[in-house]
Amino acid sequence: KQEVTQIPAALSVPEGENLVLNCSFTDSAIYNLQWFRQDPGKGLTSLLLIQSSQREQTSGRLNASLDKSSGRSTLYIAASQPGDSATYLCAVNGGGSQGNLIFGKGTKLSVKP
Amino acid sequence: SAVISQKPSRDICQRGTSLTIQCQVDSQVTMMFWYRQQPGQSLTLIATANQGSEATYESGFVIDKFPISRPNLTFSTLTVSNMSPEDSSIYLCSIRTGRYSEAFFGQGTRLTVV
C-alpha cells in the first residue's frame, strides 16, 4: 500500500531564504507526482506536475525534482516571500483504474517578514 | 485550467441532518472526484464520479452516507447524510481530464456539525 510522507510537518523561515520541502513515497511504481499549495480552510492549488519519466519541473521560483527509484521528491522555493506561507502537499498517482492520488499530510510553511 | 466552483463554501449543520455540496465546472470533464480532509489530516478520496456510470466508492465510504450525482459533464453533487460531529471536515471536488493528467480542485466546503 502506497504511503506518502512529508517532512518537516512545519517550517518557519525568514523572508528571502531559499528552502526545500521533502516528499517520500514507499512504492516507486508511480505515474506522476503533483505538488499543491493549500491556504487555511481552502482548496488546493496545483503548483507542479512531474511525470515519472521526468527529473524536474520548474515554474517561476518553484522547482520540483523527482527521484522515482529512491521514492523521493523535493520542492525548492527560491527567495521565499510572506505570500508563500501556506501548507504544501504532495500527491502521487500510482495508477489503478482511476489513477487515484495518494496524499501526504503536508508541510506548513511560514515565511516571516 | 478549468474553473471549479463549489457551493456552499462553508456551513454549520445540526447533527442528523443532510447537506448537499455542489461542484460546477466551466468546461466538460470526464473524471470528477470527491475528497474529504478531516482536521489536521491529509486528503482522503471518498469516491470517483464519472458521467454515465455509477459512482465508485473507496473503502470505508458507502453510498447511503455519501450519495453522489453526476448528471452531466460539468456538474456533480455530494450529499453528506445523517451527519454527526465526526463528519466535520473540508470536502473538496477535483477534476482531471485523464487518468494521469494534472488534478485541479475546487475551493472546498468547510462543514461543521454541531
C-alpha cell at B97: 481530464
Cross-strand pairs, A19: A77
Residue B20 near residue B39 (C-beta atoms within 8 A):
no
C-alpha cell at A53: 519519466
Nearest CA in chain A to B30: A98
**Distance in angstroms (rounded) separating the CA atoms of residues B34 and B56:** 10
Measure B19 CA to nearest chain A CA, in Å.
18
The pLDDT tens digits of the residues spanning B45-96 come to 999 998 877 899 999 999 999 999 999 999 999 999 999 999 999 999 999 9
Question: Per the CB < 8 Å rule, is A105 touching B45?
Answer: no
**CB under 8 Å to A104, separation ≥6 — which residues?**
A4, A5, A6, A23, A89, A90, A91, B42
Q: Which residue has the cell 480542485?
A: B105
Cross-strand pairs, A37: A45, A88
Chunked mean pLDDT (size 10), chain A, 113 residues = 94 97 95 95 93 95 96 98 97 81 96 97
Helix or strand holding residue B4 (H, E): strand B4-7
| pLDDT at position B53 | 79
**CB under 8 Å to A2, separation ≥6 — which residues?**
A25, A26, A27, A30, A92, A94, A102
Nearest CA in chain B to A43: B107
Question: How many other CB atoms sit within 10 Å of the CB of residue A57?
Answer: 19
Contact residues of B toward A, CB < 8 A:
1, 4, 6, 10, 31, 33, 41-45, 48, 56, 58, 90, 92, 94, 96, 98-100, 102-108, 110
Nearest CA in chain B to A3: B42
Cross-strand pairs, A25: A4
Measure A94 CA to nearest chain B CA, in Å.
9
C-alpha cell at B105: 480542485
Cross-strand pairs, B48: B33, B56
The pLDDT tens digits of the residues spanning B104-113 come to 999 999 999 9
The pLDDT tens digits of the residues spanning B3-39 come to 999 999 999 999 999 999 999 999 999 889 999 999 9
| pLDDT at position B52 | 78
Q: How far is CA B2 from CA B30, B94, B96, B99, in A?
A: 13, 11, 10, 16
φ/ψ of B54, rounded to 5, equals -70, 150
| pLDDT at position A99 | 75
Question: Distance from CA of residue A51 to its chain's centroid?
Answer: 13
